[in-house]
A and B are shown apart, each in its own frame.
Chain A
């Protein structure tokens, strides 16, 4: 994979933070001086419904915010897996939250990485964040951005939100690092 240029779709049900995970990625890309675009599905989405966003990160200008085929898809639930499995580029990969998806995979030409994020999250300080764990896994897998950039963005954001939300910064950082370590310990993708 060319890590100078990457397209990612992040999908989940409303409330899982799929859109926010994309926003974190884009902000971190800006921190690193890269080009980036974020485009959400903005239909009649609501809590519990399906939401997704398309993120491009590149060293060069990004002509199209629309993703034909993604280098990577993060599917935080089963509906997302079903909806976006065909959108993964040949040779690309899909990170599946296997806590919430038990449906079979259907392709031989992409890599599947199944991680039970919700189950693993129980080991962390509560509340822990599945979307941020998945980001950590994505970054460890690809090296598209530096983990430090994501942390910088989260620290910066925590200064602009309520004290209640800001207090969750350590939980976010813990989730991010945990996502990295989970990916490090993954067996070779099958």
Chain B
């Protein structure tokens, strides 16, 4: 299949359609409104369901309804809209309801602005919902990867019966670049063993997130955490770029990952040994892989469009194996390759002295 020029938001929508998304429920918000517009234009003609919900609360609860029947369903929103969905996401994890949530981040906190940002890493990964739960979070850095990870999101949601979030930002949502759709590459599991599809002479089923008997909630939580462990074992993905001999390793997710890659190339042209470690799955976070990387480099520079959120996971993975620095902008301020390059030059000049001083 030939490459086509496609906008990030529309690529996500078309990939969802290709993945077999039967239902889309959403409420418009910049910078992701094209997803809903595209779904509205295409799902009805395919005989599938498109609903402009009255709110984000309604959207995500409609996803729960569809998910309990084993139907592939999706909603999408941005920052403050995703904030409204947190209670339902916690409930989905507890009741093991599959569903795909696309979050195209804008500036915050509050209503913030509509500029690209990455301030919702905590929201996606650490949750605004209650209790012990984890959402699988995938982080695309190109339009092609947005397509591939949308496919993967639908598959993982059904495979693990868990909500999966595609965490993008305003740049990726709004930009166009050539990409290839290809076919949905996964074999999805049979849902008939658990889906609410009408009892019809079989015993009744319940999918609930309330477990009152003594010990029941702890047992369930332990079981879903075994599932999270399995997800960590089997699904962790990252991109390593020029890591082999890197003395300074950049960590970045999503769009910043590709901007950082430009900075790596610029640094290499100047003879500086700089590499990039870009987590593709944010949960599961590539903790062991980053730890190994940290052991073989002199310093890590974490880059984000926020005040330092993934930074906590980076530090936790590095666990003192090397110093970790942070450089970021927030609420619409963008990092450019030149800005990153300046920071690289500043840090790189200190590397030798730090090593001699025995910091490592």
A-B CB pair tally, cutoff 8 Å: 64
Tell me the minimal C-beta distance from A116 to chain B in angstroms: 31
In the complex, which residues of chain B have a beta carbon less than 8 angstroms from the beta carbon of A27? 5
Contact B259 A37 (CB under 8 A): no
Contact of B337 among A26, A37, A38, A63 (CB under 8 A): A63
The residue in chain B whose Cβ has the minimal distance to the Cβ of A65 is B175
A35: CB under 8 A from chain B?
yes
In the complex, which residues of chain A have a beta carbon less than 8 angstroms from the beta carbon of B265? 63
How far, in angstroms, from A5 to B231 measured CA to CA in the complex? 41
Question: Assuming the A-B contacts A64-B258, A64-B262, are A42 and B31 also in contact, with contact meaning beta carbons closer than 8 angstroms in the complex?
Answer: yes
How far, in angstroms, from A29 to B174 measured CA to CA in the complex? 19
The residue in chain A whose Cβ has the minimal distance to the Cβ of B30 is A42
Contact B176 A64 (CB under 8 A): no
Q: Chain B: interface residue count, which band?
A: 20 to 34
Contact A38 B258 (CB under 8 A): no
Tell me the minimal C-beta distance from A167 to chain B in angstroms: 24
In the complex, which residues of chain B have a beta carbon less than 8 angstroms from the beta carbon of A23? 5, 176
The residue in chain A whose Cβ has the minimal distance to the Cβ of B4 is A30
In the complex, which residues of chain B have a beta carbon less than 8 angstroms from the beta carbon of A14? none
The residue in chain A whose Cβ has the minimal distance to the Cβ of B340 is A64
Among B5, B258, B259, B336, max chain A CB count under 10 A is at B5
In the complex, which residues of chain B have a beta carbon less than 8 angstroms from the beta carbon of A35? 177-178
The residue in chain B whose Cβ has the minimal distance to the Cβ of A44 is B114
Q: Which residues of B contact A (CB under 8 A)?
A: 3-5, 30-31, 114-115, 170-171, 174-178, 255, 258-262, 265, 334, 336-338
Inter-chain pairs besides A38-B176, A38-B177, A65-B177, 11 sampled, C-beta below 8 Å:
A23-B176, A26-B5, A26-B177, A30-B3, A35-B177, A36-B178, A63-B262, A63-B265, A64-B258, A64-B261, A66-B337
